[in-house]
Amino acid sequence: MSPSILILGGGCFGLTAALELHARGWRVTLIDQGPLPHPDAASTDISKVVRMDYALDEQHTAMGELSLRRWREWNAKWGEELYHEVGFLVMSREPMQPGGFEHDSRAFLSQRGHLLRRTPPEMLRERHPAWNHTIYRDGYLNPVGGWAESGQVIARLASEARAAGVTLIENVPQPRPLFEGTRCIGITSSQQTWQADAVLVAAGAWTPELLPHLQEVMWATAQTVFHFQPQDPRPFTPPQFPVWGADIGKTGWYGFPANADGLVKVANHGPGRRVTASYPRTLPGGEEDRYRAFLRETFPTLAEAPLHSTRVCLYCDTFDGAFWIDHDPAHPNLIIAAGDSGHAFKFTPVLGELIADVVERKPNPWAKRYRCREKTAASSDGARASE
């Protein structure tokens, strides 16, 4: 009889693991607290940046390169473009300098043979006129990269999983891991219990609430997203307006071209606020002013665009910013795939194999970085969240 696994959570970690483990012969049941895609899941929303630009980080650059190839293959397989290769324009106010995200990404990718276009202010003004070229003085365009329609991708993966024979159980009230002593034997909810040979918890920002022994090393942080609806979205469409980062290494500001509905998404990859996943998803006071002040400086013609909607979305940050994908040493049969630290969606096409290799204890060149690890003062540098 083939081994069985229960997966708790159907975001990009859980669904890709389900598909891959099913393909490797496991009997897979995936249980989610909500419908798929869950409206509050990190993997949902209209868009996520897909890029390979990661400064000098070789592993994430390589994972990005492979993911990008696979995003294109998925578009072809699905017969629908859910990944849009519109390029990634990264600009900074100061000349690019060694040690800065823009400089190091450009240098490292160039060494690996990628052709990037340096973008001085005159070129910014000519080719990307929505930008304020008087303050953004240097940067580059990487034509390889773009954005994925994330909520649609999750819906697509869920339907692929169903079609392949994964059992998907949605809208289960408060499912949680079930233990016998320290051993994890299944999942239980107020209505039902399921048992299997292994349990994979891939519950995103909800993970530290479900497994409190992880609260020392990972936690939820709230991040805001704004969707603007300019009357004329055309100036905010590619090629003049690709996916962008504005001094992103220092400020966290990034955003997207208008989508098919004319919505322009702007977000900030910042420290966020440390919360629990059940925290009410309200915007902090003054947030719209903060966004509009940024837009007035950077994209003046977008600054007064009507606001369509906002979103508060949760990262599951780890103390050092690396994902957490491993068997739990304290709980036999329990595997964790969480700790996305706000940047995992782009890797969706490679996550399933990575997680499945960890579940099966097979060697994987990327898994070491995401192992269970001790929190030390020195290793906490990657943590971004304010308490």
Ligand X SMILES: Cc1cc2nc3c(=O)[nH]c(=O)nc-3n(C[C@H](O)[C@H](O)[C@H](O)COP(=O)(O)OP(=O)(O)OC[C@H]3O[C@@H](n4cnc5c(N)ncnc54)[C@H](O)[C@@H]3O)c2cc1C
Q: Which stretch binds ligand X (CB under 6 A): 25-33, 73-81, 99-107, 360-368?
A: 25-33
The answer to whether 196 contacts ligand X (rule: CB under 6 A) is no
Find the binder of ligand X among 168, 225, 302, 325 (CB under 6 A). 225
Interacting span for ligand X (CB under 6 A) from 92-100, 110-118, 227-235, 341-349 = 341-349
The reply on whether position 370 binds ligand X by CB under 6 A is no
- How far does Cα 156 stand from its chain's mean position? 17
Query: With CB under 6 A as the contact rule, which of the stretches 244-252, 278-286, 326-334, 336-344 interacts with ligand X?
Result: 336-344
| Residue 232 CB, nearest approach to ligand X (Å) | 25
Considering only residues 249 to 268 of the shown chain, the ones binding ligand X according to CB under 6 A are 267
- The stretch among 312-320, 357-365, 366-374, 378-386 that binds ligand X (CB under 6 A) is 312-320
HSE of 370, CA atoms in CB hemisphere, 13 A: 27
Q: How many residues sit close enough to ligand X to count as binding (CB under 6 A)?
A: 38
- Contact status: 349 vs ligand X (CB under 6 A): no
User: Does the footprint of ligand X cover residue 32 (CB under 6 A)?
Assistant: yes
Nearer to ligand X, 342 or 349 (CB): 342
Interface with ligand X, residue 106, by CB under 6 A: no
Site string (266-285) toward ligand X, x via CB under 6 A? -x------------------
As measured in angstroms, the least distance from the Cβ of 1 to ligand X is 26
Tell me: does residue 90 bind ligand X (CB under 6 A): no
CA distance 153 to 291: 28
Q: Does 89 bind ligand X (CB under 6 A)?
A: no
Contact between 14 and ligand X by CB under 6 A: the answer reads: yes
Please list every residue from 46 through 75 that binds ligand X, using CB under 6 A: 48-49
CB 29 within 8 A of CB 194: yes
Q: Is 218 in the site for ligand X (CB under 6 A)?
A: no
Residues numbered 115 to 154 that lie near ligand X (CB under 6 A) are: none
Binding flag, residue 31, ligand X (CB under 6 A): yes
Is 319 near ligand X (CB under 6 A)?
Answer: no
Q: Which residues bind ligand X (CB under 6 A)?
A: 8-14, 31-34, 38, 41-43, 48-49, 175-176, 202-206, 210, 223, 225, 267, 313-315, 338, 340, 342-346
